Amino acid sequence: MVDLNLHRGHRWYALHVRARYELSVASRLQELGVQEYLPVQRSRQVTQRNRCSEGLPLFPGYVFSFINLSTGPKLYSIPGVLRIVGQGRRAIPIEDDEIATVRTLADSQLLLETTPYFHSGARICLVAGPLKGVSGTFLHTDKGDKLVVSLPLLKRSLAVTVLRDWVALDVANVTCRE
């Protein structure tokens, strides 16, 4: 039987971390028994010293942490953690469905790219293809049609090229729930 109280009060938070500290902060969170998520690009890059690096963070400078702020470890004691993202001194959690959508995109085999935060555009839902059921904002560019998924709290977005046949207008989030 699953203990429903196990994660009572736990929410996803974005930790703003020092440049190039994403992996070390994520590792330290794991050592402390804290669930973390560091989405990375699935590309292989050859560095100047001919070493391959398996992916760069999709959100440089950020690590996601699933934690109860009132009972969890003191995050500011972790080297590299600058702050918990929020407004002023108030940490604001990220919605579970936003994290789930980022996971779906990051786990897909499709080429992802980061884009500037995108405020306007039609809400769409993908009704076919490998990302069926994912919703976001439609963006038409010279390089093709894209689904843009935004994390308003971070003011960051991810974009993935989609086929027009996969897209349906998402009226009040009804299309994606069916």
Would the pLDDT of 5 be above 90? no
pLDDT tens digits, one per residue of 62-88: 999 999 999 888 899 999 999 999 999
Q: Is pLDDT larger for residue 174 or for residue 167? A: 167
Q: Is pLDDT larger for residue 169 or for residue 46? A: 169
Domain spans, the chain: 11-91, 96-177
User: In the chain, what percentage of residues exceed pLDDT 70?
Assistant: 83
Q: Which stretch of 3-17, 72-86, 119-133 has the lowest confidence by average pLDDT? A: 3-17
What is the pLDDT averaged over residues 4-20?
A: 85
Whether the pTM exceeds 0.85: the reply is no
User: Quick one: pLDDT at residue 116?
Assistant: 61
What is the pLDDT averaged over residues 82-105?
A: 94
Mean residue pLDDT of the chain comes to 85
Domain 11-91, CATH:
3.30.70.940
Give the pair of three-digit tokens for residue 26.
Answer: 């994520």
